[in-house]
Structure 1
């Protein structure tokens, strides 16, 4: 009762939870109708606004590079003589764990191989280089530009303008109508929750698939639910401890294990081929970035391919942009805009490129050695475990991957819970622990409900439905990003001129 009373007193929290609960109830009671509506609406969004997503992504990358290299890049998020609160190593570990995490394990082998077997467009490069290049494109600058844009705008509002940690605070000087600003914050929370629940559902499904693969059994829904509970509990402990004790330590551990796993596959594979592929694909990606981003001419893979891959990825990155960007802003105090933007764009992108080069190139060579490909890496949930079977210490690698999947999901959940808590606790930089507890419980219940619904309605792929829902919920956010960016640039230029006069 005390918790319900607490929720009722917080308007933003009660409205957000009320809307999410209503939508969840609607989906549960009218599952098939809801699925059909989501399917139809997502196709409509992708058909009419898919290219808008592409143009928005390209524009974000160019804008951030322009600001970083301009005199505006010297603006510091904090006092002039203040040093970064977190070291480059800790900062990179936290932003990468929050922003990518389990996804790089989910797609490490499956996506490059798919692109090799199903070339997105005709290229003068080999299928292998093209496959890596297009994978880089979908995991590179654009994704991090969405995150970086929010990090820049919110970080400026938080550490320069001394405003609250709310998305609405970035436009409050222009839009003074409180219900409209609250609507923006509610939209942010709903988009974040759906994006997080989708990630947990996908991640736990892959972990379950890995366990089934290792033990050659069929762990069902109970195992998946136990995994969700374990992940949520560890995430709650981490977020309860705070950024410096819980989230930072787990993030560093994630990156350390990832680097060890990466190094092992690298040194036991054809290193020269991997390095050559990494260099060639990265160079080609830089050359082709603009035409690929605009899908023009021979770089257009067609609406069906874009719909299944790029439009979905852009919608997913947009759905994660609010909480990831705000979390990055929260840990970036003391850095200049140049350090923030170039760091966010370049460091994690290059790390991701090398990751996919190691796993992708090694998978290509395995397929070549086999002489034929029977879709061994086609299952997104088990492909990496099948891949490890071709290497020494396969069981150790598989177990390590499962531990890493859990750890990455934990750091994504704890980062999101921390940001959601900042939202609901009136934009405080260090939200109260009751808010952290509430959101941890709510995320646990939401993820569990999605998995149970998928089991109760086996004829409908609920996880796919949640992913498609992201495409719908991220659309209004995409439009808001445009307005937010214009307002921010105008204020930035105005503030800069005022400081110089």
Structure 2
């Protein structure tokens, strides 16, 4: 009976369940298939990801500074639904979250020790520049594009909250539109499970490091249950009472942590690195984005880093972009696009400048580097050992990791619920419960699978899977953007 009432929800969960069951029964075969397919995608479409990323950045900047940027998401007289501070806190918590803690030290140090390509720049500057590149404008352009298109459909065209709603006036086939929504849900769930798996692994790694323990799969499952439960409570309360308040708290704690490291490190060196790296990032952005000539780090490096990041951002783009659209009512396209592109990017750049530059100086003081920051799950905790109040810093980071994971999951649960509850802006609470429970079960299955087959790194498999599952979205974004332009130009001419 329920399947007839809600075919989208039933089909999506059925497909996800069957995929999980197939992987569990034929684990090695599934892993090998994922590996071979990801290599095929990399070889044939890897650079397409790069072109798409650059195209999104240039497109959004063009729209923001054009007359189209004056168009408002809502009525002309309508004011923004949320304050600038609350808006930034929510979009950043949903869009990045735990990732900046996961990579704060490990990625800049890896790039310093393993330069992506030959350059006349100092190794430290190049390391930060490439880190900026992978966490900067392109990631937020993917989010911003979805936020713009969905926000326009939602608040101007008065459509339902579904990705298929952005093209329904041009694609009349209902099964095709449902296929788009199912693809959106599946990609979102895969991206979310990968993020939760990595996040709980880092929390576990931090606990093991801080307490010199050897906590295993049981701890990961407990952490996944904790994150999913808190996310459900937040999503149950809704945007204003749950998600907004938790997002604000996350950002306040993050800023305090950032400022502590900033003021107890070499402030001048950090500021010089920040300014210098931003300059080179802006100058080199286009050749880096196209991997042109001497800026090409090679196919293996691109696969392990850039292609994976682009696929991850694409996997998160539907639910993050739709969530940003949902909280952007009353803002102009210019405010939305410049706000999404610039503000969180600058915040991320400063974050990596503080942690990266401070870690570089630690290595210089040591004289030798023995891969102390090589473990992605414990690197930031090793880093804190060299600062005052290390125990307090580690404890705050563990709480913050949980908080960021919760705000990512609750945003995704809310958006998935909007999808499956007929595109309603405020979905029924039973949908929030269904998706909270299903995401928890799917995450536990993933963790158990990784433990059942120790010779297979299931998290790496999911990362490679994202490169595959994000490909349809990469093509769909082109179609979606074309339809959006057609609609917005028609509306702009009618208003002129």
Band of TM-score, shorter chain? over 0.9
1:390-415 deviation digits (Å, cap 9, x = unpaired):
11100110110000000000000000
The residue correspondences of 1:318-357 to structure 2 (distance < 5 A) are 318-357=314-353
Which of 375, 382, 403 is the equivalent residue of 1:407? 403
The residue correspondences of 1:168-317 to structure 2 (distance < 5 A) are 168-317=164-313
Displacement of 1:304 = 1.0
Distance across 1 between alignment mates of 2:283 and 2:461: 36
1:101 corresponds to? 97
1:422-453 deviation digits (Å, cap 9, x = unpaired):
00000000000000000000000000100011
Question: 1:441 and 2:437 equivalent?
Answer: yes
Displacement of 1:6 = 3.2
Gaps of 5+ in 1: none
Distance across 2 between alignment mates of 1:443 and 1:9: 22
Q: TM-score, normalised by structure 1?
A: 0.98
1:293-312 deviation digits (Å, cap 9, x = unpaired):
00001111111111110000
1:485 corresponds to? 481
Gaps of 5+ in 2: none
SS of residue paired to 1:47: helix
Runs of 4+ aligned residues of structure 1 deviating over 6 Å after TM superposition are none
Number of residue pairs matched by the alignment: 496
SS of residue paired to 2:470: helix
SS of residue paired to 1:242: helix
Which of 455, 460, 464 is the equivalent residue of 2:460? 464
Q: Please identify, of 192-201 and 486-495, the stretch whose mean Cα deviation from structure 2 is larger.
A: 486-495
1:426 corresponds to? 422
Displacement of 1:491 = 1.1
1:292-333 deviation digits (Å, cap 9, x = unpaired):
000001111111111110000000000000000000000000
1:130-189 deviation digits (Å, cap 9, x = unpaired):
100000000000000000000000000000000000000000000011100000000000
Distance across 2 between alignment mates of 1:336 and 1:101: 25
Relative distance call for 1:7 and 1:90 in structure 2 (3 A) is: farther
1:186-239 deviation digits (Å, cap 9, x = unpaired):
000000000000000000000000000000010111111000001000000000
Distance across 1 between alignment mates of 2:111 and 2:136: 16
Distance across 2 between alignment mates of 1:376 and 1:492: 52
1:92 corresponds to? 88
